[in-house]
Amino acid sequence: MEAIQQSLLENFGQIKDPRVERTKKHQLTDILLIAILAVIAGAQGWEDIENYGISKQKWLEEFLVLPNGIPDARRLATASLSDDTFRRVFEFINPEELNRCFLRWIETLVTKMGGEIIPIDGKTIRGSYDRNQDKSALHLISAWASEQSLVLAQMKVEDKSNEITAIPGLLELLDITGSIITIDAMGTQTEIAKKIIDKKADYVLALKANHPTLYHQVEQWFETASAQNFQGIDLSYDQRIEKGHHRTEIRQVWSVPVSALGELYQPRIWAGLQSLVMVVRERRLWNKTTREVQFYLTSLHSDAQLLGRAIRKHWGIENQAHWTLDCTFGEDACRIRSFHSPRNFALLRRIALNALNREQTYKRSLRQKMKRTGMDNDYMIRVLSSGFIDSTLDSSQPLCQA
């Protein structure tokens, strides 16, 4: 536990304490660590964090200072480490500082990004709005490491702005050399493509009607070429069939080099553009069949198998990150909304998600892993060890005692 605490201090100990000196009854590092542990164990608000601290006080006192304990908030002692204490601290912690600490931690987990497929997508935390303050819901964009199941970074989309302006800033935070960046149609912009190429990565960008001339040209070309069975065209093709959840999904991928289209509309404005892709998804349910056609621009060579995999992996950020944050961590339902607290609490959830995903010895759902950390201190140590001192932990050995 000392090694875990040291790692946490190295990564998160440089955050500036926002409190006035005379009001400090508890160490900031204690508050941060209890909050991280509580969210890993399923806490969805300040009272949950307080209750976790109260329930685990005897264990926490073995490695935290806790000069004034963790009394029940109903007690009137001014030194109470109550839910109000946690709320006030996270309202005023600088979210940029906390985000930098998060990025520093991620750098210790991810040592090699070459070949990694990194989807980038936005998510609105729907419960963070405040009508009384005329405050809209917080919108964040995140980068997701598909193979490692880790949130790599997040960035706030500023009010009266959109993801187009935020994505370059997010890319600037990351070393994406050798990676494949996938973005949906909102991020299919020439400047974003250039940014990815400048950072020595590749892109797969969804092409939709927000680029009408190019979209209709590509759509018409693939329709004509398909009708002629792509005769005389340098084509790469791949097909995958998956069955599950009472449905069958057939995914077909066609990719061609840009040169196959002849005079493509403004090709030079897309830095590094090499191939165009068409994906046809057919879903067969017991009562209906649906068919969807999607087009993509990519800086990769025409390789349908690789491109199909990258496109498929893009949905990981929706299914494994955003869906999990909503359904397991209760993010959308959370009504934390004052000052910096929505953004800071969102980062706590992503720290918890990463730590739980890193622990691979307990083969259960994320929800079950989360519940076990709340019940079993040894398993909480296992999760923290995987997330913070993984290289020093032999997973074949029994769990250590704090």
In the prediction, which pLDDT does 39 show?
Answer: 98
In the prediction, which pLDDT does 80 show?
Answer: 54
Say what the pTM is: 0.91
Give 74's pLDDT tier (boundaries 50, 70, 90). very low
Q: 159 is written with which tokens?
A: 């009010």
Higher pLDDT, 111 or 21: 21
Residue 398, number of CB atoms within 10 A of its CB: 8
In the prediction, which pLDDT does 185 show?
Answer: 95
For residue 225, which of 254, 247, 199, 251 has the smallest C-alpha distance?
A: 254
In the prediction, which pLDDT does 390 show?
Answer: 52
- Please write the tens of the pLDDT for every residue from 329-349: 999 999 999 999 999 999 999
Mean pLDDT of 22-35: 89
Higher pLDDT, 158 or 81: 158
- Please write the tens of the pLDDT for every residue from 192-223: 999 999 999 999 999 999 999 999 999 999 99
In the prediction, which pLDDT does 75 show?
Answer: 45
- Please write the tens of the pLDDT for every residue from 280-321: 999 999 899 999 999 999 999 999 999 999 999 999 999 999
Give 238's pLDDT tier (boundaries 50, 70, 90). very high
Res. 397: pLDDT tops 60: no
Res. 391: pLDDT tops 90: no
Fold of 99-323: Transposase Inhibitor Protein From Tn5; Chain A, domain 1 (3.90.350)
Mean pLDDT of 46-75: 83
In the prediction, which pLDDT does 23 show?
Answer: 76
Q: Is 246 left (phi over 0), alpha (psi -120 to 50) or beta?
A: left
Share of the chain above pLDDT 90, in %: 76
Give 248's pLDDT tier (boundaries 50, 70, 90). very high
- The C-alpha atoms of residue 50 and residue 60 are separated, in whole angstroms, by 13
In the prediction, which pLDDT does 6 show?
Answer: 85
Which of 186-200, 235-249, 388-402 reaches the highest mean pLDDT?
Answer: 186-200
Q: At what angle do helices 28-40 and 46-55 cross, to 10 degrees?
A: 100
- Please write the tens of the pLDDT for every residue from 5-14: 888 888 888 8
- The C-alpha atoms of residue 56 and residue 81 are separated, in whole angstroms, by 13
Mean pLDDT of 72-94: 72
In the prediction, which pLDDT does 78 show?
Answer: 42
Res. 395: pLDDT tops 60: no
In the chain, which residues fall in CATH 3.90.350?
99-323
In the prediction, which pLDDT does 73 show?
Answer: 45
Beta bridge partners of 289: 284
In the prediction, which pLDDT does 81 show?
Answer: 64
